[in-house]
Amino acid sequence: MTTVLFITLAVVALAVVGFVAYRVGKRRAAGDEETMRLEEYDFYPFVVNASRHIEFSPDRFNQAVDRFLQRRNSTAAGELIVIGEQNFVRERFATAELEAYRQLYERYDGDSVISDNEAYLENYKRLVRLIGRSFPNTGIEILVHNLVNPARSVVAIENGEVTGRKLEMGATNLVLDLKTRRHQNQDKLNYELNIGARRFKCTTIPIYRQGYGLVGAVCINIDSRFLREAVASDPVKLEAFLDNLLKTDMELEENILSPDEYQAALRGKRHFLDEAIRGGTDVAPTAQLSAIMFSDVVDYTSMMARDEAATLQSLQVSSRIHRESIARNGGRVLKELGDGFLATFSSVSGAVAAAREIQAGAREDG
């Protein structure tokens, strides 16, 4: 009995010792992993040259590779892998240096780093597609660069006919340019490019990801000569350009105006630079009254007697149709009297157009 008890206690003791050793070892292993960001190390693989431009430093990069092969730092190694792919180390390094980089890539699961970045850019790709399709055939190109793979960086593009670029084309100089501009606290905003006889207005917006640094960019490129020489000088092309720019696929009932702008719109303000109305006057001092429109609902009293709830609901729809049509055609509501509207217009054509829209809207509503 004593022997059995001794053996049992010994087994329990070994289990406890093993568990404690496992926990201590695990804690030590976790403590061995460094947590500094890559830019905090002396071997951050970029230097500033005499012209204050950022340059990639292969020597520092190799120092970083050696360090993270000896001492684990998953965050910094992940960013180093991104930088390695951005700067074509697979093509430019000698055999020994390349082998060390490949070991680093495998040890820190470089494929996962790359695929995670591709997933990170998915929403940016969707934004570019939707924005680009909002103004087709206008000479305005928008695209996303995946700068972890600069040789085939274009991962989404709309209106690519502007520059002739397509998916998987590259942008080899963009990484260092954007890093330099960040170092100099500059935005790459509203810049001009002259390439042969072509001229563009461009903006580039860098995409930074926490823990990885620069991973992508959104670029907008506008064909300046197309707009100035082909569109602005030809009324037909100008009308087509405006049609493409203002093309809509649906009409919704939403208010995107501030409360003040909403009230101004109901008073007849037609656009954001409509100074006469924005200045607080109901009508411009030089405006002349040309037409008055009065509208009411036919057989309103009988409708209320038959179905009051349905009639009141229709009245709300009628009120919206009236106000929108009057504002859209340059009119101003003077009074709303139950089922009736009194409005003024500076032109007879505006009053007639509003009346036709109101009638059409009423028929659609039934």
Q: What is the pLDDT of residues 221-231, one digit of tens each?
A: 999 999 999 99
Q: How many residues does the chain have?
A: 366
Question: The pTM is what?
Answer: 0.62
Alpha-carbon span 122 to 10, nearest angstrom: 57
CA angle 127, 131, 135 (to 5 degrees): 165
Encode pLDDT of 4-24 as tens digits: 444 444 444 444 445 444 444
Alpha-carbon span 262 to 21, nearest angstrom: 70
**pLDDT at site 282:** 47
Extract the tokens encoding 268: 């007849």
CATH superfamily of 259-365: Nucleotide cyclase, GGDEF domain (3.30.70.1230)
Fold of the domain spanning 120-245: Beta-Lactamase (3.30.450)
Alpha-carbon span 53 to 48, nearest angstrom: 5
Extract the tokens encoding 293: 């429109």
pLDDT in tens, the chain (366 residues): 545 444 444 444 444 445 444 444 444 444 578 888 888 899 998 888 887 788 889 999 999 999 999 999 999 999 999 999 988 899 889 999 999 999 999 999 999 999 999 999 999 999 999 999 999 999 999 999 999 888 889 999 999 999 999 999 988 688 889 988 988 899 999 999 999 999 999 999 999 998 889 999 999 999 999 999 999 989 999 999 999 999 899 988 899 999 988 888 888 888 887 755 445 444 444 445 567 888 877 776 777 778 877 877 887 888 888 888 888 888 888 777 667 788 888 777 788 888 888 888 877 766
Phi, psi angles (nearest 5°) of residue 158: -125, 140
Nearest to 82 by CA among 107, 111, 62: 111
User: What single DSSP character describes residue 253?
Assistant: -
Q: Do residues 181 and 170 touch, judged by C-beta distance below 8 A? A: no
For residue 219, the SS3 value is strand
What separation in angstroms does the CA of 77 have from each of 12, 82, 212?
42, 9, 9
Extract the tokens encoding 157: 């593009």
